Structures are given as structure tokens and as C-alpha cells.
Amino acid sequence: VGLHHSANVIWATKMGPMSSELINVVVADDHPAFRAAAAEVVSAAEGFVLASAVESGPEAIAEITRLVGPVLVVMDVQMPGMTGVAATREIHDRHLNATVVLVSGYDRRDLADINECGAAAFVPKEDLTPALLTAIWREHAAS
């Protein structure tokens, strides 16, 4: 999991939109307050469009399979039922065309198994910004 850093953010902001095609974003979080805030972040990010905001991992997977083209998923690590880590692992195992950004209110040190689940990045929830989404997408696309 690549952690964001400030250099990436500045670089991404200066570079502007990555292409003319908008990237679909799915937000998956069981907390309504953060789900709404994350949706606003996506809406404010250039080059991204909010496809849907869902409450669970299975719903996120269903959305990804429904959408055409690459998808960026903002996924909460801990959700009731299927966790964000389990959902990310399934997305990875099924080779779905989605880049997952794991987000959490917990400290990264308090989360188990987030390193090998196939997520592109981990971001503390309060650090989620449009610029960061862009940076992560660029970094992941480049790799």
C-alpha cells in the first residue's frame, strides 16, 4: 500500500485533469456523515465523477461490476458484514477493473491485514482531499 505524501499532492494539483474521460468513483462507507463528505470530495475532484455512494462491501462490488471502464473505490476498512479489506481482496482476486483507496478513522497501526489485500493506498479519513484522490490515481496508473 503506497501512502500519500505532500510532494505527490502538489505535483498532481499542478498537473490538472489526467484525461478527458471522467473516472467513475464508488464511495463505500457505513457512516452516513463521512459517506456524504467523501461524495463531496469526489464531486470537487477534477476528472472524477461520483458513480454511487454505498454502505457495504458487497454493494461496492456490485457497483464496480455494473460500471463500464476503470473505477476508483473509496472504501472504509471496517464495515459491518464484509469488511473493506475483504471486499478489496475479492475485487483483487476477481481482477475487477477497480483501484481501491482504503480509508479509516482508525490509526493505520490499529488495522490488521491492510497491506496484502490489493489496495492502492491507505488514507486516514480526515486527510481525504480531491488533490489526494488525483495523486493516488496518477501514481497507481503510472505503476
Partner 1 sequence: MLRADRISSVGSSPSLVAIRARRLRSLRLYIIGDTVACEVGALVCLLLYATAEPSVFFLWQAADLAGCGGIIVLALRPADRGDEEWAVTLLCLVNWFLAIVGALVTPHIGTVMALAAVIPVVFAMPYVSLSRLRQLMLGTVISLIAIGILSRVQDVSQLDTHIPAALEDVLVIGTVSMIALLILLVVWQAYQDLMQTNNTLYELTADLTLQAEKLAESRSRLVAATDNARRRIERDLHDGAQQQLTALAVRMDLAGRALSEHPQAETVLGALSADLRSAIRGVRDLAHGIYPPLLADAGLRLALPEAAARLEPACSVGVCDVPRYPTEIEVAVYFCCLEALSNAAKHAGPEAQTELNAVGTDERLMVTISDDGPGIEIGAVKNGHGLRNMADRLAVVGGTLNVQSTPEQGTTVTIEVARPPLAG
Binding site for partner 1 (CB under 8 A): 31, 33-34, 36-38, 40-41, 44, 78, 105-107, 109-113, 125-126, 128-130
For residue 14, which phi and psi values (nearest 5 degrees)? -70, -30
Pairing of strands 71-76, 48-54: unpaired
| Alpha carbon separation from 112 to 41, 108, 122 (Å, rounded) | 27, 8, 12
Complex with partner 1: residue 44 or 65, whichever CB lies closer: 44
Nearest distance in Å: CB 128, partner 1: 6
Complex with partner 1: residue 21 or 46, whichever CB lies closer: 46
Complex with partner 1: residue 27 or 60, whichever CB lies closer: 27
80 Cβ contact partners less than 8 Å away, ≥ 6 residues apart = 30, 56
Nearest distance in Å: CB 70, partner 1: 24
